[in-house]
Amino acid sequence: MKKIRIDDCIFHSKIKNHLKIKNDILFEIDKCPINSLHLESSYYSDSISKLDWYKNSDFNRPWVKIFLPEFCKDVEEIIFSMCYNRINLMELWFQQYLEGDTHGWHIHGDHFTGVYYLEFPEGCSQTEIVSPYNLTIKKIDVVEGDFIVFPSHYIHRGLPNTKKRKTIISYNFSAIGDSINGKPALNLNLLK
């Protein structure tokens, strides 16, 4: 077997109106029923205090309606930089981590995935992503309001959290490169 190295990247950007939308999204998330995830095996460990993964394709949730317009504006630069101009947003969900919560090594489906750090006090647990080429681990140095986008097949995890609550929004999307009426334009398709 031979590995051929090609360049790829993890995109790191900001939700520009983070301070404007943060409290409204958290208010809506606080109203959501508490659904948690706790899995333990010899290979994999998950403990997430609150999430709405089970509704990941429902784009009518109140917090989603606040988040999506901002995400669409801010992901545009990333999408265009890869010569794509349309995304099919497949899934979108939140996860809240309390002390000791963790998300074990995993991958996602679709082309791209990512994380928006909605509530991320200093000292919260970081995201680690593994390079598929040489299996080195990269810790992503983010602050609250940042978001990252990376290929969905990259193995990644959320390290055990500290005492401060962390809230993230995660998403999966497919990227499409075509033109609309001869001009590139970002077009978000929500697949339900």
Per-residue pLDDT of 57-101, as tens digits, reads: 999 999 999 999 999 999 989 998 888 888 899 999 999 999 998
Q: Return the domain boundaries, the chain.
A: 11-176
Determine contact, residues 151/8, Cβ cutoff 8 Å. Answer: yes
Closest of 29, 98, 97 to residue 64, by C-alpha: 29
- The pLDDT of residue 6 is 83
* CA 71/CA 38 separation, integer angstroms: 29
- % residues pLDDT > 70 (the chain): 89
Closest of 167, 162, 163 to residue 147, by C-alpha: 167
β-strands 50-51, 137-140: how paired? Answer: unpaired
The CATH class for the domain spanning 11-176 reads: mainly beta
Tokens of 23: 């409290």
pLDDT in tens, 102-127: 888 888 988 999 999 999 999 898 99
- Per-residue confidence at 190, pLDDT binned at 50, 70, 90? low
